[in-house]
Amino acid sequence: MDLEALDRAVVSCRACPRLVAWREEVAVVKRAAFRDQPYWGRPVPGFGPADAALGIVGLAPAAHGANRTGRMFTGDRSGEVLYAAMHAVGLSSQAEATHPDGLRDDRLHLIGTRITAPVRCAPPENKPTPQERDNCRQWLAAELRLLRPTLRAVVVLGAFGWQALMPVLAASSWRVPVPRPKFGHGVRVELPATDDGSPLTLFGCYHVSQRNTMSGRLTPAMVEDVLRAAKEAAGL
Ligand code: SF4
C-alpha cells in the first residue's frame, strides 16, 4: 500500500463509535459562520508529500477546522499560527490555509513536510479517550512506515501527540530510549540509525492551540524556532 492508498483507506474508518457520531453530528449541525459550506465530517488523512523529510504530529482535527475542510490544521486558529510559522521558515508555499477544495481551493502545498495526527477524527472538546488513541494508532504507524525511507525529523505539537508517537516509533523499528523521553517545549531527542533505516530527530513544541497562543505561553517566534531547527535536522 502506498501513501495515497493509505489516505483513501483512513477516510473510510469507523472504528470509534463516539467519534464517528460526533464528527458526523458536527457536520450536520455546523457552526453558524460556515452554514453555507459542506463539512468533510470524516477522518482526516495526513497532508504533504510522500517523500517528506520532516513530519509534524498534532493531536486531532478540530470540529470546525479540519473536520470541516478535510485537511489537517486548515480553517481554524491553530492552523493560522502553524502555517504562518511554516511559511516564515520556508516549509509551506503560503501563510494561510483556508480550504483545499473546489472554488475555495487555497492551493497551499508543503515543502518536504507532512502534517499528520495520532487521532484522525474530531473528538468532543478536543479530548480523545485512550481507547480512541489506541484504535487510531494503526494509521499513524502505517503512515510512518511509508515515510521511513525519507523521514529525518519530527516536530510533535503537545504532550498528547508525543506520548502517542513513542509506541508507534518503537513498533516501527526506530530505537526509542528507555525510559522514554519526556515531552517539553524545545526538547530535542536523537534516535539513532538502525539496521532498518536512518536516524530521526524529535522536537517537542507546545501545541499551537488557542489556549497556548492567546495566553502567550506559545509565541509565533517560539514555533518558528522549533521549525527552523527541525528543518535543518531534516536536511531541508
Ligand atoms: Fe478510525 Fe481513527 Fe477515526 Fe477512530 S479516530 S474512527 S480509528 S480514523
In this predicted model, what pLDDT tens digit does every residue of 94-113 receive, in sequence order? 999 999 988 789 999 999 99
Q: What is the pLDDT of residues 163-203, one digit of tens each?
A: 999 999 988 888 999 999 999 999 999 999 887 778 999 99
Rounded to an integer, what distance in angstroms lies between the CA atom of residue 116 and that of residue 73? 9
Task: Tell me if 19 CB under 6 Å of ligand 1.
Answer: yes
Q: Radius of gyration of the chain from Cα atoms? A: 17
Residue 185 has a CB neighbour count (10 Å cut-off) of: 18
pTM of this structure: 0.97
User: What is the chain's mean pLDDT, rounded?
Assistant: 96
Q: What is the pLDDT of residues 10-19, one digit of tens each?
A: 999 999 999 9
Task: Tell me if 135 CB under 6 Å of ligand 1.
Answer: yes
Residue 154: the pLDDT is 98
Respond yes or no on whether ipTM tops 0.95: yes
Task: Tell me if 21 CB under 6 Å of ligand 1.
Answer: no
Atom of ligand 1 nearest to the CA of 15: 6
All domains in the chain, ordered by first residue: 3-233 (3.40.470.10)
Tell me what percent of the residues of the chain surpass a pLDDT of 70.
100
Task: Tell me if 64 CB under 6 Å of ligand 1.
Answer: no
All 3 cell numbers of residue 115?
502534517
> For atom 2 of ligand 1, which residue has the closest CA?
136
Residue 232: the pLDDT is 98
